[in-house]
Structure formats: structure tokens, C-alpha cells
Structure 1
Amino acid sequence: MANSEGGMTAMMGEPAVTARELGRRRGGGWPAVGALAAATFTVVTSEMLPVGLLTPIGRELRVSDGTAGLTLTVTGLVAAVAAPLLTLLVGRTDRRAVLVALMGTLAAANLLAACAPTVLVLLAARVLVGLGMGGVWAIAAGLAVRLVPGRRVAAATSLIFSGVAAASVLGVPAGTFLGELGGWRTAFLAMTGVCGAVAVALAVLLPPLPAADAVRLGGVLGVLRGAPVRTGLVLVALLVTGHFAAYTYVRPVLEQVAGAQADQIGTLLLGFGLAGLAGNFAAGAAAARTPRTALLVICGVLAAAVLLMPLVGRGAGVPGAAVLVAVWGLAYGGVSVSTQTWLMAAAPGAREAASALFVAVFNGAIALGALLGGQAADGWGAAGVMWLGGALAVGAWVTVAVGRGPGRGEG
């Protein structure tokens, strides 16, 4: 892999915009990057909102924690399918227009969720969330190279992905607090307004972004011929499945294992998110140099934090659990930017195709993790989801250690 930001630009397969070109056109630059960070924040918050609300959702709709967790499973499955399909279907349509339309879809989905009288209607709303999320993430992930000069691409990419960590810092805890204050429906209603505001920001701040070439099915499938790409996708599948098998049910775990009270959950999730935000920027810089090393550290720390949670939670209570939640957040905060960097380096010249596969596998893993975690929660109890998640994270570490990586010195 390249060892400079200019090399990062080259690996993404498209010359970055120059400072002079930015000055000649409307939009672009750091305000546009900020709008994309707001978009990733919004889609991930919309996706993850049920995490801090599973207990009240299940109570009001009269379903188990495992059934309520299907709100994550459905969203992830739909996003996994939507990411590559929408990338193919939009052809050469201006990416700005596509992003604005998808953000409008998210607003409608959150409004429907806020009004859902039954779990079936809520799941229908979550299907729409999956459509919007899959498309936004697949398109936004690789746009930094078109918005800032080449030497700034690595920093801009980290900023775009900081929206993922910021969703944990602000979005999920804020949703949890709103759920405690006004009920879980208030949290979904608030997200409706946020999605609308971000849609306006994208329309105003992004420049026209016509696709140079339409992504075709052969191009997407062709990316899979590279061994480093396949290694990266297996890594994503194992690590993200493990994380979400555990994290989807973190509220029941904290309540039942560590004895946390309802009013402490938001604070604990805030600690997870703050650590994740720091992890995103630290991992972005590290992965730009050596993605394998960065991911070995991430997988190892995440596995240790999750596997220790049942032991430390029971032995040290809420304070011990709080430390592990923060360490867990620090590790997971670097997952998105590090795995995206791995795949961009593994597929030079196929930026959108690689991003589509990345988002498809990532969200399929979210769905699978939520589903497996639900089975573990209903069958083995709260501690079971931690053992399952930790075991999958260990599998991800082994994949990074023995698999073929991208670029010089990484294979």
C-alpha cells in the first residue's frame, strides 16, 4: 500500500481534484466533506437507533429482545442488497441527486417508524432505512477523492467515516436519552428532522458529481478475483458479525450482567461513542500506512473487551463494564475506516465497485450479527452474546494474520 496521501489518491483509482479546480466550481472542498460526514452520521444513527431502545420497544410492542433485535437484522439485510444494486441501477446519474433522494427516503422511513402501531409496521419502516443507508454509504465512502486536493484525501476519508463514530457518540446515546424522556417514538421522530436537514445540506454543499462511467455487474464481480479483496471481505464479515452479535444486545447485557440501571445506559453508550470517535481518527492514520497492523490491533483489542465483559461486569459491576465499553468503542471506532482503506488499496481503479461490495458485506454482517445475537440472547442469556461476539472477533484476527493483504509489504 502507498505510504503517502498522494499514494492513497492513486490507489483509489481516480486523480484527486486539485485546489485550482476546486476554486473554479461551486461546492466541493471541506464543507462538502462535512456534509458527507453528516450523511454517514445520519444513516448509521438511523440504523443503530434501536440499540438503546430495544427494551422499551419490546415492552410496548409486546415482543422479546430477540424479536425486537430484528429491527437491526432487517435493516442490515436490505442495506447489504441495496448497496450493490443501487450502485448498478443509478448508472451515470449525478451522485449529488442520488444522495439527496436517498436521504429523503431515510426521513420517510423514520417518520413511519415513529408512527408504527405494530412490530410488522416497524419492520417495514426499517426496510426503507436499509434502502437509504445502503445507497448513501456505498456512494459517499469513495467521494473524498473528488472533493479535496490529493494530499488531503486520507484526512477527508477519515472525516467522512467519523460520522460513523459520531453516530455512537451523539446519535445512539441521544436517541436513548430521548427514549427515556419522551418514549422511543420521540427518538425516531427526531431523526426524521435530522434526515431532512442533512438532505438540504447535501443539496447545497455538494458540487455536481456525475459518474465518469456507469458501474456494471461485471466490474463488481471482477473485483472479487483479487485475493486481498476476498481476504478483506471475510475479515469484514467476521469482525462486524461478531461486534453486532454483542453490541445489538449491549443494553440487556449491561442491565443483567453488570447491574446497570436504565438511566445509566445512555452514559455508558456515550463513553463507547467518544472512544470510537478517537479510534476512528487514530486508525485512519495508522491504516493509511499499514492496514494489516492496524487491523490486527483492532481485532485483538475488540475480542478481548467483548470476551472479558461477562467476567468483569459481574466482578466489578458498572465501573468495570464502563472501562470495557470504552475500550470496545476505541477498537470498533477504527473498523470502518481501516477495512475501507484495506479494500480501496486492494482494488485500485474500481473505487465504487469495491465500496459497493464493502457496504454489502458490512451490512449483511450487521444483519447476521443481530440475528445470531438474538438467538444467543434468547437461548444462552446475556453472557452468551458476548462469548459469541468475542469468538468471531478472534476469527477476524486470524484472517488478518494469515490472509493476503493489499500492496507492498502487506501480502
Structure 2
Amino acid sequence: MSTASVSKGTVVPAPLPWSGLLALSTAAFTAVVTELLPAGLLPRMAPALGVSESRVGFLVTGYAVASFAAAIPVTALLRGLPRRPVLMGALLGFALSNVVVALSSSYGVTFAARLVAGVTGGTLWAMLAGYAARMVPAERRGRAIAVVLAGITLALSLGVPAGTALARLAGWRAAFGLLAGVAVLLVGWVRWRVPDFPGEERGTRVPLARVALLPGIPVILSVTFFLLLGHQVMYTYVAPFAAQAGFGRTDVVLLVFGASTVAGIWATGLLVDRRLRGTLLAALALCAAVMLALGRYAGAPAVLLVSAALWGVAFGGAPTLIQTALVDASGPAASDVATSLQTTVYNAGIAGGSLAGGVVLEGAGAGALPWTALPLMGLALTAVAVGRRHAFPPARLPYMRSGALPGPPYADVEDRSEDEESRRSC
């Protein structure tokens, strides 16, 4: 049996398919570095493209807008196709975009290439968690998703700084060229180690509107939105807040935050399959407590650094917990569509939080930012606390079902019947 072995009445889970999961994690890493790298290269790219640094910053904005706009329609359009070719196509889209950016001296051409990258990014993010869920039995789903989403953490803490350092040594074009090469190699890795899964047959597809209204999905999307709103209000404007606290080293604050997210996602990987709801409640409560501490002790550098560390631990694991709950509620068969909805909500939260934080900063000053983020974190916490029935049940069943979908989530896994026989025999 591929999913478990039985010894003296005990079901022993099979090892995770590490090579395939790490390929998906590397895809997440590549997507995040591709999206954010221009932000670290503004002074170098601006002269080469003949534009101001602010317009180079729009290369990040364009990517995010394209990802926001494309996630739902492109996912809906491609949901009937086999999954692995779609994944490989998205990676080739990243390779093509980064090659064009590396070679272009025209701002217009570069911007168009970034829009292509944004579309492929929206497609990729809609697939990754569901893909990981389909590669493992349900009782290991959360850990598999944690492995894949760890690529985000590594990109933020290591990938973007490493790309910026490479640009200093070899030029910014070399950094984008290297990203293109990584994406091409990933296509081969995915073809070799990531299993293919069929797309959804037309007669069995759940309409997008029905997926959005599946029990638990609206609550999970609201948690995503309020968490990202509150997070971005504070995270986007860490620099002026740190300056007000008398600590001018924003890079140190962000380094502490980024390093702590690694600890957060590691802890989440240990707990997500056993205590998803409790771990998410603890993470959101810690986020709220951090905002309270920052609000009350805004002028203390020591409090700022400790709070950044705790904030990183709490926020680092939250996306994995929320994503796992989303796949549980939708079932892996509809997870791509559900995740496309979450991708849209996620980007809306980023945009709304950044906008709200900017308004607060101009009107009330940096000291008001934590007090703005706190009630938003509180709303996310409340949504999890009351969403016990469908979105965040106290205990996760070995095979959770989606009421709107025909059959169990793992109907397409060939050895599922063998695994259930093993469970009954125990």
C-alpha cells in the first residue's frame, strides 16, 4: 500500500513524497522572488529602462493587479485540463517573462512581461495547495501544504535578499536571467517527480458560485481578508513606525520578522494535521497581542524587535493553516477554484491594508497604525472562533467531505480503497 502500512493494529503513515512537494515549494519560491525582486532593484533598473524609480515600482504593482484579475477566470478556464501540463505551462510563463525582463531596455516591453508573469502567478497560486493535497492522504494534507508554502517564507527571508545581492555583483539582468533558468529546470523537475492528476470533467464540475458558497468557504475567505488587511496596515509602513520608535534600522526589523516566520511555519507543520483550529486561534491571538503591545509601547525599540519576532512566528504559519482549512472545506477536487477565490481575496487584503495604512499614516501618524490593525486582527480571530461547524471544526476527520461535491475528495487517488480497507481492518 502506498499511503500506509499496518503493523499490529496500527496504521503507520507512509513518508511524504518529498521530491514532488519540494518541487512545488520551489515553484512557490520562484513566484514570490519573481514578484518582489524589482522592489529591491529600483536604483539599478530605473536608469537602464529610462524611467523613475517609482515607475519601476509599478512593475510590482502591475504583477499584483494581473494576478488579482486573472486568478479566478484563468483557473475556471483551465479547470478541465490535466493538472501537470497546466503547472508546467505556468512555470514556462515565468521563464519567458523573466527572460524578456532580463533582455529588455524598453519600459513598455518590461511592463508587458510583468503582466504575463502576474497572470501565470495567479494561475500557479490557485493550484499549489490543492496539488499538494492530492499527493498525500488526507491525514497528512496539512503537513504537505506546509512544505509547499514554506517556499514563500524562504523567498521572503532568503530569496529576495539573495537576488538583490546577485544584482550588486553581476547586474540586475543576471538576477532575472537566473530566475528564468530556475523556472526552466523546475519544468523538468515537475515532469519527473510530480504526479499528474486529471482535470474536472465538464459534467461533474461545481460552478464557481457554488464553490464560493460551500459550507465554510465564506468564513475562511473572510478570515483571509481581515488578517491580510490588518497585517498590511502595519507591515507596509514598518519603516516610519520603526523611525518613530527610535530604531532606524528597518532592515533589521524585517530580518527579525522574516527569520521568525521560519519558526512559525515549522511549528505549524507539526501541529496543522492534529490541531488546526487551536493553532490558528493561537496564531491570530498572538498577532492581536503584538499589535496591542506595539500600540502601547510604540516608542520602545526593544518592544519593537521582540514584537517583530513574535509577529513573524504567528503570521508565518497562518497561511498554511487557512489554506489547509480551505482545502478541507472544498475538497481537493474543487480546491483550485476555491484557492483562486482566496488568491483574489488575499490580494484585495494586501491592497486594502496598504491603502488604509497610508491614509492612517498621513492623518494620524505612525503611532496609530497598530490601533488600526488590532480590530482587523480581532475580526479574523472572531471568525475562526465562531466558525466551528464547517470552516474550522475542532477535530479534522481523516477524509473530510464537501457537501456539494460528488463523492469523497480522494476519489481520484487509485489506492484510496486499499487505505480504507486497512483502516477498517484496524
- Output the TM-score relative to the length of structure 2: 0.74
Could you tell me how far apart the structure 2 residues matched to 1:326 and 1:34 are?
A: 26
- 2:225–2:346 CA contact under 8 A, matched in 1: yes
Q: Give the equivalent residue in structure 2 for 1:97.
A: 85
Q: Give the equivalent residue in structure 1 for 2:222.
A: 234
Q: Which amino acid aligns with 1:281?
A: W
Residue 234 of structure 1 and its aligned partner are, at CA, apart by 0.7
Higher-Rg member (1/2): 2
Flag the 1:227–1:111 CA change in 2: closer, same or farther, 3 A.
same
- 1:83–1:135 CA contact under 8 A, matched in 2: yes
Flag the 1:63–1:212 CA change in 2: closer, same or farther, 3 A.
closer
Q: Which amino acid aligns with 1:369?
A: G
Q: Which amino acid aligns with 1:400?
A: V
Given candidates 248, 252, 256, the residue that maps to 1:271 is 256
Could you tell me how far apart the structure 2 residues matched to 1:184 and 1:306 are?
A: 36
- 1:18–1:149 CA contact under 8 A, matched in 2: yes
* Partner SS, residue 350 of structure 1: helix
Q: Give the equivalent residue in structure 2 for 1:328.
A: 311
Match status 1:292 vs 2:277: yes
Q: Give the equivalent residue in structure 2 for 1:337.
A: 320
Q: Give the equivalent residue in structure 2 for 1:62.
A: 52
- Give per-residue Cα distances to partners, 1:261-313, cap 9 Å, x unaligned: 4xx72x54343233212212322443433433222222222233345447656
Residue 36 of structure 1 and its aligned partner are, at CA, apart by 0.6
Could you tell me how far apart the structure 2 residues matched to 1:392 and 1:156 are?
A: 29
Q: How does 1:293-372 map to 2 (within 5 A)?
A: 293-306=278-291, 308-309=293-294, 314-316=299-301, 320-348=303-331, 350-372=334-356
- 1:241–1:368 CA contact under 8 A, matched in 2: yes
Given candidates 21, 33, 54, the residue that maps to 1:33 is 21
- 1:30–1:148 CA contact under 8 A, matched in 2: no
Identity %: 32
Q: Which amino acid aligns with 2:232?
A: F
- Give per-residue Cα distances to partners, 1:21-73, cap 9 Å, x unaligned: xxxxxxx9321111011111211222233555578778995356xx7765554
Q: Give the equivalent residue in structure 1 for 2:400.
A: none
Match status 1:282 vs 2:267: yes
Q: Give the equivalent residue in structure 1 for 2:74.
A: 86
Q: Which runs of 5+ in 1 are unaligned?
A: 1-15, 21-27
Could you tell me how far apart the structure 1 residues matched to 2:65 and 2:102 are?
A: 21
Q: Which amino acid aligns with 1:292?
A: R
* Partner SS, residue 333 of structure 1: helix
Residue 159 of structure 1 and its aligned partner are, at CA, apart by 0.9
Could you tell me how far apart the structure 1 residues matched to 2:172 and 2:127 are?
A: 30
Could you tell me how far apart the structure 2 residues matched to 1:250 and 1:184 are?
A: 26
Could you tell me how far apart the structure 2 residues matched to 1:178 and 1:253 are?
A: 29
- 1:17–1:146 CA contact under 8 A, matched in 2: no
- 2:277–2:394 CA contact under 8 A, matched in 1: no
Could you tell me how far apart the structure 2 residues matched to 1:205 and 1:36 are?
A: 10
Q: Give the equivalent residue in structure 1 for 2:415.
A: none
Could you tell me how far apart the structure 2 residues matched to 1:68 and 1:34 are?
A: 32
- 2:149–2:320 CA contact under 8 A, matched in 1: yes
Residue 138 of structure 1 and its aligned partner are, at CA, apart by 1.1
* Partner SS, residue 334 of structure 1: helix
- Give per-residue Cα distances to partners, 1:248-269, cap 9 Å, x unaligned: 44456546755434xx72x543
Could you tell me how far apart the structure 1 residues matched to 2:336 and 2:290 are?
A: 33
Residue 388 of structure 1 and its aligned partner are, at CA, apart by 3.9
Could you tell me how far apart the structure 2 residues matched to 1:73 and 1:354 are?
A: 24
Residue 134 of structure 1 and its aligned partner are, at CA, apart by 1.2
Flag the 1:380–1:88 CA change in 2: closer, same or farther, 3 A.
same
- 1:292–1:405 CA contact under 8 A, matched in 2: no
- Output the TM-score relative to the length of structure 1: 0.77
Residue 397 of structure 1 and its aligned partner are, at CA, apart by 2.0
- Give per-residue Cα distances to partners, 1:109-160, cap 9 Å, x unaligned: 3344456768766654442232121111211211224334555433222211
Q: Give the equivalent residue in structure 1 for 2:211.
A: 223
Range with bigger deviation, 108-117 or 270-279:
108-117
Residue 405 of structure 1 and its aligned partner are, at CA, apart by 4.6
Could you tell me how far apart the structure 2 residues matched to 1:189 and 1:371 are?
A: 33
- 1:169–1:271 CA contact under 8 A, matched in 2: no
Q: Which amino acid aligns with 1:343?
A: L
Residue 210 of structure 1 and its aligned partner are, at CA, apart by 2.6
Given candidates 210, 213, 233, the residue that maps to 1:245 is 233
Could you tell me how far apart the structure 1 residues matched to 2:300 and 2:60 are?
A: 30
Decide which structure has greater helix share.
1
Q: Give the equivalent residue in structure 1 for 2:179.
A: 191
Q: Give the equivalent residue in structure 1 for 2:385.
A: 401
Range with bigger deviation, 152-161 or 363-372:
363-372
Q: Give the equivalent residue in structure 2 for 1:25.
A: none
* Partner SS, residue 151 of structure 2: helix
Range with bigger deviation, 295-304 or 236-245:
295-304
- 2:81–2:200 CA contact under 8 A, matched in 1: no
Flag the 1:198–1:108 CA change in 2: closer, same or farther, 3 A.
same
* Partner SS, residue 216 of structure 2: helix
Flag the 1:315–1:377 CA change in 2: closer, same or farther, 3 A.
same
Flag the 1:306–1:157 CA change in 2: closer, same or farther, 3 A.
same
Q: Give the equivalent residue in structure 2 for 1:213.
A: 201
RMSD of aligned alpha carbons: 3.8
Residue 394 of structure 1 and its aligned partner are, at CA, apart by 2.8
Residue 342 of structure 1 and its aligned partner are, at CA, apart by 1.8
Residue 235 of structure 1 and its aligned partner are, at CA, apart by 0.8
Could you tell me how far apart the structure 1 residues matched to 2:92 and 2:274 are?
A: 37
Residue 324 of structure 1 and its aligned partner are, at CA, apart by 2.5
* Partner SS, residue 289 of structure 1: coil
Residue 398 of structure 1 and its aligned partner are, at CA, apart by 2.7
